[in-house]
Structure 1
Amino acid sequence: MTKLYILDTNVLLQDPLAIFSFEENNVIIPAVVLEEIDSKKRYMDEIGRNAREVARLLDELRETGKLHEGVELENGGTLTVELNHRSFDQLKKHFFEMTNDNRILAVALNLAEEKKKQHTFLEVILVSKDALLRVKADALGLKAEDFLTDRIVQFDRIYKGYEESWMEPEVMNTFFEKKQLPLDKCQVSQTFANHFYIFKDTSNGTRSALGMIDNTKKHVQLFYNKHEVIWGIKARNVQQKMALELLTREDIPLVTLVGKAGTGKTLLSLAAGLYQTEDLQLYKKLLVARPVVPMGKDIGYLPGEKEEKLRPWMQPIYDNLEYLFNTNRKGELEQILAGMSSIQVEALTYIRGRSIPEQFIVIDEAQNLTKHEVKTILTRVGEGSKIVLMGDPKQIDHPYLDEYTNGLTYVTERLKHRPEAGHIKLEKGERSGLAHLSADLL
C-alpha cells in the first residue's frame, strides 16, 4: 500500500538525495521546509552546500511538471511540494505557538485527517531527525520515524578491526613454527585484509597468539610488535600494539582509529608520524589538522594572526606534542616547532583545493566530519602520503551527525575490505584511572 512520507527540513539538510529514498511512495515537502532551506543556502559550510543541492534538485524536477501538483521520481514514487493543508486549527488545541516545527506538524495532521475522511487509508508518516518533533507527532496520533537510510551501519555493529577466536593446541604450535597459516586452517569469520585476530588456546586459556590477515586475504600472519618504543611511547595494551602496526606500515596508506577519550589515539598517531618523518624520513612533513567544531557554546571570533586564532582549537594537539618533546618551559615547544619546518599544525578550513604528497597526515576529531567533508579530505591525499583519521563517534559536536552517520564511521565501513586501509577500535583508557572511570561510567 502506498504511503505518504512528510520530510522535515533536517532530513534534507543532512542528505539532499533523501527524496529518492522512499521507493514507490509519495514524498511530501511542506512549504515551510522550503523556507527553512532557503534561509540556509548562504551558509559557507556543509549545511549551506546541502541546502543549495536541494534547491538544484527541486529545480531540475520542476522541469518535469508542477511540483505543487506532484511530479514522478525515477524510483516510481512521486514528490509534491505541499502548499495546502496548512490550517493551524487542529493543532492549536495542543500546541499554541506557530513555530516552523508546529507548521510541519499541522501539514501532517491535516493530511492524515483528510485521508481518513476520504477512506483512502493512506498511511501518513512524518520523517524527522528531530527526536522531540517525533515525540510531538506521536502524541497527536501520527506515525513518526527517524531517517535511517543515511546510516552507514545498521543494527549498531560498528567494525572493530579485530576479533577473538579459539585455536587448537597443535594448530597454534604450527602457527608459531611457520609464522603463518592458511585462512581455512583458522576459525575466522572476517577475511578482510589487515584484520587482526587474538587466538586463544582451547586447552589453555592463558596461551594466546596474535594474527593479522595479509593483503592477499589468503593467510593469517603471526603478528608481533616490531616497534617496542617509538619516540618514548610504548604500547600498553594489545589494541595499541595493533594500532602501532597499522600506523607504521608503509603499504597501508589509510588508517582509522576510534576509541573513547584517553585511549591513546592522538599520542600514538603523533609518535608514529614523528618517527617516520624525522627518524626514517619516509615523509617530508607531518601535517596535523582537526575540524573547527566547538563543544558547547562557541567563544566567538578570536584576535590575532592565523596561528594565534588556531591555538585554542589545536591545544589538544599541542598538549600531546609537549609530552612527546618533553617540554617544560613556556614557549619551548614553539621554538622547537619553529626549528622543525617538517611539522605543521592547522585547521581543516584550509585544506580544500590542496594536493598533499609525501606527507604523514593526522586528522583528529574526524567524527565531526560529514561524508562529503571526509571525501574532500581523502581526495587531497597525494602520492606517497599516509593519512590517519581518528576520533570517538560517541562524542559528536556537529548538530546533524550521530554515531552512525559521521564521516569517520563512513570511511571505516566503506573501506574496511580494502587492503590499503586498516582500522582498530581502542578499548582501554590509558590516560589515567580517573579518565578511564569517567569514560566508562559518566
Structure 2
Amino acid sequence: MMQSSVADHSKPRLYVLDTNVLIHDPTAMLNFEEHQVVIPMTVLEELDHLKSGKPAVAVECRQAIRLIDQLIGDASPAELEKGVPILRVDGNTLGRLSIALQLNGEVVKRLPNTINDNRIINLLAILQEDYPQHEVVLVSKDINLRIKARACGIEAEDYHTDQLIDDISLLPKGYHEFSDSFWDGVDKVETRQELGVTYHSIALNDDLPSMHMNEFILDEQGFVGWIKEIDDKRLLVKDLSNDNLLQQEAWGLKPRDIYQALALKALLDPDIHLVNLTGAAGSGKTILALAAAIEQTMSEKLYRRIIVTRSVQGLDEDIGFLPGTEKEKMEPWLGAITDNLEALHLDDENPKGSVEYILDRIPLQFKSLNYIRGRSFQYSFLLIDECQNLTPHQVKTIITRAGKGTKVVCLGNLAQIDTPYLSATSSGLTYLTERLKDFSGNVHITLQGVPRSLLAEYADANL
C-alpha cells in the first residue's frame, strides 16, 4: 500500500535556505514563525563569494551576512548547531537559526581547501589541536569568515581597536531635543549680551544629559541654543533665533526643517572647519553642502575652489580603466552631485544651461580619493560624499589633508554601507563623529528623512 505523500503539518518544520532565497530577501530567516531555519555552510561560502561581486547582488549578500551575525550573537558552536533563538523586530522570540555543521551524518572538522578563507579556518583547527593549552581566536573584519569559523568550533571576534561604540544608537546626533521647555530642567542660569548676541551660562545638574561642544539644544517651545563652551560645572549656550535659522539662504536654497537649518548654520560658519552630516537618503545632505559651497566660493569668496570626491566601492580600482581625463572618469561616479546641482536650479528658465554655467565658471573639481591622499589643500571647500564606506584610517588620511583656510564636509548614510568589511559601528564616519565630538571646530548633525516625493514616502512605508 502506497503511503500518503501529504505532509504532516502538525510537526515543527526545519527550513533549509538556499543562497538565492537570501539574495531575494536578506531577512528571509525572520519569516518562518516558530520553525527552525538552517543555513548550510555552502550557502555561507556562496554569500562570501558574491558579497564583493555585482552591486545589485552584493548589497543583499552583505545585508544577509550582517543579519546572520546579529542573530547568532555570542552563541557557542554547540548552540549554533542546536539553533539560537530568532529575535524578531516586534520583540518576540519565535523559531531558531542554526548553521549546518554535519555532512552525511558526520561532523565537519575540515573545510575543502579550495579558497583562502577555508585554509585559514583549517589552520586554526590544527592550531587548536597542537596548542590545547591555548585559546585559539580568529580576529577578522570579515563577518562571514567569523560566522564560518564559529560554526566550525573556532572562537572568532572583530578587530575593535578603532571601534569606539558597540551600538550605533549611542552615536551623538549633534543636538538634544527636550519635550516642552528646556529651561524646566535648569537650576541656575546667568544671561548676558555681547554685540547683540545672547549667551546663557547654565549650571550643570543631573537632570541634563551628557553634552558636547557645538551641539545644539532644541525644545518644543521654540528655543534653539548652541553650546559654545563646556566644562565640569557649566555650559555656555549661544541663543539662536528659530525664525532666523529657517530663513537662512545659500545659493537660493532655504532649509526645509530645523535640522537642515542647523546643518546650514554650521556649513556657512567660517569658524567651523569640519561639518559631518549623516542621515537617510532624501534628508538633504548633498544639496545643503553644495549650496553652501557655491555660496561661499562665488559670492563670499571664502574659498578658492570646491573639491568633490566620493567614496564608492571599486572606485579606486575601476577609475583607471575608464576613458578620458580624470574629470571625465569621475563623472559617472558623481551623478548625485550633478543631480543636486540641477535641483538647485529647477526654477530657472533653462536649468541645464544654469548647471553648465556653474560648471564652466565655478572652480568645481571632481577628484578621485587617490588624488586626495598625499596632497594638502589651501582655502578649499572639500566635500567628501559616501563617507560611511571609509575606514577610520582612510578618514584620518583624508581629513589631515586640510590646509590653511580649508573647510571639510563629510556626508554619509550609515544604513547604506557598501564595503564588505565595515559595519555602522566600525565605519570611519562613526569613528570621525565620536572622536571629534569635543573639537571646537567641528559640528555633527544627523538629518531627519525628508521624503523626496509623495510616491517615495508611500513606497518607504509600504514596500
Q: State TM-score, norm by structure 2.
A: 0.65
Asked if 2 retains the 8 angstrom alpha-carbon contact of 1:264 and 1:430, the reply is no
SS of corresponding position for 1:123: coil
After superposing the two structures, state which structure 1 stretch, 308-317 or 209-218, moved more: 209-218
Asked if 2 retains the 8 angstrom alpha-carbon contact of 1:254 and 1:388, the reply is yes
Letter in structure 1 aligned against 2:239: L
SS of corresponding position for 1:148: coil
Change (3 A) 1:248 1:338: closer
> Following superposition of structure 1 onto structure 2, how do residues 158-237 of structure 1 map, counting pairs within 5 Å?
158-165=171-178, 166-168=181-183, 179-184=198-203, 187-200=207-220, 207-215=221-229, 218-224=235-241, 225-226=244-245, 227-237=247-257
Q: Does 1:106 align with 2:122?
A: yes
Asked if 2 retains the 8 angstrom alpha-carbon contact of 1:126 and 1:143, the reply is yes
Superposed displacement of residue 299, structure 1: 9.7
Could you tell me which residue of structure 2 aligns to residue 96 of structure 1? 112
Instruction: Measure, in 1, the Cα distance between the counterparts of 2:309 and 2:332.
Output: 13
Superposed displacement of residue 345, structure 1: 2.9
Superposed displacement of residue 438, structure 1: 5.5
Superposed displacement of residue 417, structure 1: 0.3
Q: 1:394 aligns with which of 415, 418, 431?
A: 415
Q: Does 1:377 align with 2:398?
A: yes
Superposed displacement of residue 363, structure 1: 1.2
Change (3 A) 1:439 1:390: farther
List, as ranges, runs of 4+ consecutive aligned residues in structure 1 with deviation greater than 6 Å.
174-178, 297-300
Asked if 1 retains the 8 angstrom alpha-carbon contact of 2:379 and 2:404, the reply is yes
Letter in structure 2 aligned against 1:374: V
Asked if 2 retains the 8 angstrom alpha-carbon contact of 1:196 and 1:211, the reply is yes
After superposing the two structures, state which structure 1 stretch, 137-146 or 260-269, moved more: 137-146
Superposed displacement of residue 408, structure 1: 1.8
Letter in structure 1 aligned against 2:218: I
Could you tell me which residue of structure 2 aligns to residue 405 of structure 1? 426
Instruction: Measure, in 1, the Cα distance between the counterparts of 2:455 and 2:219.
Output: 31
Could you tell me which residue of structure 2 aligns to residue 38 of structure 1? none
Instruction: Measure, in 2, the Cα distance between the counterparts of 1:185 and 1:109.
Output: 55
Q: Which has the higher contact order (CA 8 A, sep 6+)?
A: 1
> Following superposition of structure 1 onto structure 2, how do residues 68-83 of structure 1 map, counting pairs within 5 Å?
none
CA shift digits 1:115-174 (9 cap, x unpaired): 44xxx3x322222333333333333333222333331323332121111235346969x8
Q: 2:274 aligns with which of 229, 246, 254?
A: 254
Asked if 1 retains the 8 angstrom alpha-carbon contact of 2:387 and 2:411, the reply is yes
Q: Does 1:125 align with 2:137?
A: yes
CA shift digits 1:249-281 (9 cap, x unpaired): 111111100111110000011111112222222
Unmatched segments (≥5 aa) in structure 2: 1-105
SS of corresponding position for 2:309: strand
SS of corresponding position for 1:147: coil
CA shift digits 1:74-105 (9 cap, x unpaired): xxxxxxxxxxxxxxxx9976533443222222
SS of corresponding position for 1:214: strand
Asked if 2 retains the 8 angstrom alpha-carbon contact of 1:264 and 1:431, the reply is no
SS of corresponding position for 1:138: helix
Asked if 2 retains the 8 angstrom alpha-carbon contact of 1:291 and 1:368, the reply is yes
> Following superposition of structure 1 onto structure 2, how do residues 236-251 of structure 1 map, counting pairs within 5 Å?
236-251=256-271
Instruction: Measure, in 1, the Cα distance between the counterparts of 2:431 and 2:304.
Output: 29
Q: Does 1:154 align with 2:170?
A: no
Letter in structure 2 aligned against 1:410: Y
Asked if 2 retains the 8 angstrom alpha-carbon contact of 1:354 and 1:380, the reply is yes
SS of corresponding position for 1:222: strand
Could you tell me which residue of structure 2 aligns to residue 138 of structure 1? 150
Asked if 2 retains the 8 angstrom alpha-carbon contact of 1:162 and 1:196, the reply is yes
Q: What percent of counterpart residues are identical?
A: 39
Letter in structure 1 aligned against 2:423: D
SS of corresponding position for 2:432: helix
Letter in structure 2 aligned against 1:375: K
Instruction: Measure, in 2, the Cα distance between the counterparts of 1:196 and 1:106.
Output: 52
> Following superposition of structure 1 onto structure 2, how do residues 288-437 of structure 1 map, counting pairs within 5 Å?
288-294=308-314, 301-326=321-346, 332-333=353-354, 335-436=356-457
Could you tell me which residue of structure 2 aligns to residue 25 of structure 1? none
Asked if 2 retains the 8 angstrom alpha-carbon contact of 1:412 and 1:423, the reply is yes
Letter in structure 1 aligned against 2:263: A
Paired residues, what number?
342
Superposed displacement of residue 329, structure 1: 5.7
Change (3 A) 1:193 1:134: closer
Asked if 1 retains the 8 angstrom alpha-carbon contact of 2:164 and 2:431, the reply is yes
Asked if 2 retains the 8 angstrom alpha-carbon contact of 1:370 and 1:406, the reply is yes
Q: State TM-score, norm by structure 1.
A: 0.68
Q: CA RMSD in A?
A: 3.3
Letter in structure 1 aligned against 2:182: M
CA shift digits 1:347-381 (9 cap, x unpaired): 33322333221222211111222223222222221
Superposed displacement of residue 111, structure 1: 2.5
Q: 2:294 aligns with which of 274, 277, 280?
A: 274
After superposing the two structures, state which structure 1 stretch, 101-110 or 341-350, moved more: 341-350
SS of corresponding position for 2:411: strand
Change (3 A) 1:344 1:137: closer
Change (3 A) 1:346 1:115: closer
SS of corresponding position for 2:173: coil
Asked if 1 retains the 8 angstrom alpha-carbon contact of 2:342 and 2:351, the reply is no
